[in-house]
């Protein structure tokens, strides 16, 4: 049985922890709002760009762009987008579990975020390059990551590039996904509204004329599309990270407060019992 001194120490220690987690919860909530707004604000543009890209590449005819080339997959690269810090629940663990089954001999990793780089390093996987991205991901950061993956694909060092990241749904829901990045094609995993246009494009026989040429239009479109798509991936990852951290810190604070209440009740019960025992001893001594 614990003594009153031990209980006081535990209550004081847990109270300090609760104050820390509460402060972290408030900071994460502030960052979460900005990250969520950025992720949601960029979706309409990415969705429209996706529709334009699919319409252009579907009607381009016999033209073949290197970024559209489908090859037999012997080697692949995975762009792993993780969090910069921990204390965000199972967000990183769940994401890393998705890429664990890939063959380490034929898979090379491009990481974004410190936790992703640590996972690749500690698990003995091949790391091609690692990048950092800020609290509010900038397009230049996404373009650098996309360029690294694009160079691997165009040089023939890999036959496929995948992106493993977390898609932000809402504050309580973040879905880890592995999506095909290169060759550029239909993105099934993103669940972008309007994906039904794929069937429309396959049955659309409308003649399309490209000015100045199909090569110029599609080449320009694809080079920008991969960077913008990667930027949206980073925005979703940062919104997911801050949301998961806010929820995790809130749960930690609630658990600490609940434990404090239980320990306080135990402390008061024990203290009351000691007082009653002392009173009985005093009363017994007076009787004698």
In a domain, 253, yes or no: no
The angle formed by the CA atoms of residues 197, 202 and 208, to the nearest 5 degrees, is 90
Structure tokens at 81: 């987008």
| Residues belonging to the chain | 288
- Phi, psi (rounded to 5 degrees) for 253: -65, -45
Structure tokens at 96: 């890393």
In a domain, 186, yes or no: yes
Q: Give the single-character DSSP code of 51.
A: H
Euclidean distance between CA atoms 184 and 173, whole angstroms: 27
In a domain, 191, yes or no: yes
114 — pLDDT class (breaks 50, 70, 90):
very high
CATH number, position 222: 3.40.1380.10
In a domain, 45, yes or no: yes
The per-residue pLDDT for range 207-223, each reduced to its tens digit, is 677 777 777 778 788 88
Which structural domain, as residue segments, surrounds residue 91?
25-246
In a domain, 64, yes or no: yes
In a domain, 195, yes or no: yes
194 — pLDDT class (breaks 50, 70, 90):
very low
Q: What is the pTM of this model?
A: 0.84
Strands 160-170 and 107-112: unpaired
Mean pLDDT, range 19-28, rounded to an integer:
92
Mean residue pLDDT of the chain comes to: 85
192 — pLDDT class (breaks 50, 70, 90):
very low
The pLDDT value given to residue 232 = 93
- C-alpha to C-alpha distances, 224 to 33, 184, 234, nearest whole angstrom: 28, 12, 16
In a domain, 8, yes or no: no
């Amino acid at each position: 049985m614990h003594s009153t001194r031990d209980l006081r120490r535990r209550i004081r220690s847990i109270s300090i922890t609760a104050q820390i987690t509460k402060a972290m919860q408030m900071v994460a909530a502030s960052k979460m709002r900005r990250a969520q707004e950025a992720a949601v604000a960029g979706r309409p543009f990415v969705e429209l760009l996706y529709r334009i890209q699919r319409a252009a590449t579907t009607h381009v005819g016999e033209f073949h762009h290197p970024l559209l080339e489908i090859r037999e997959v012997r080697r692949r690269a995975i762009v792993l987008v993780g969090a910069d810090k921990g204390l965000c629940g199972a967000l990183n663990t769940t994401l890393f579990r998705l890429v664990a089954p890939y063959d380490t001999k034929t898979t090379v990793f491009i990481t974004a975020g410190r936790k992703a780089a640590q996972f690749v390093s500690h698990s003995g996987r091949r790391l091609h390059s690692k990048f950092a991205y800020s609290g509010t991901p900038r397009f230049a950061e996404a373009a650098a990551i996309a360029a690294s993956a694009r160079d691997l694909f165009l040089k023939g060092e890999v036959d496929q590039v995948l992106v493993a990241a977390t898609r932000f749904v809402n504050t309580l829901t973040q879905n880890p996904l592995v999506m095909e990045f290169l060759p550029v094609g239909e993105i099934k995993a993103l669940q972008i509204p309007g994906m039904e246009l794929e069937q429309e494009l396959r049955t659309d026989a409308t003649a399309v004329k490209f000015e100045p040429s199909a090569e110029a239009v599609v080449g320009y479109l694809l080079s920008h599309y991969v960077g913008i798509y990667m930027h949206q991936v980073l925005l979703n990852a940062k919104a997911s990270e801050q949301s998961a951290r806010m929820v995790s810190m809130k749960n930690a604070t609630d658990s600490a407060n609940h434990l404090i209440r239980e320990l306080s009740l135990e402390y008061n019960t024990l203290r009351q019992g000691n007082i009653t025992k002392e009173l009985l001893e005093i009363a017994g001594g007076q009787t004698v």
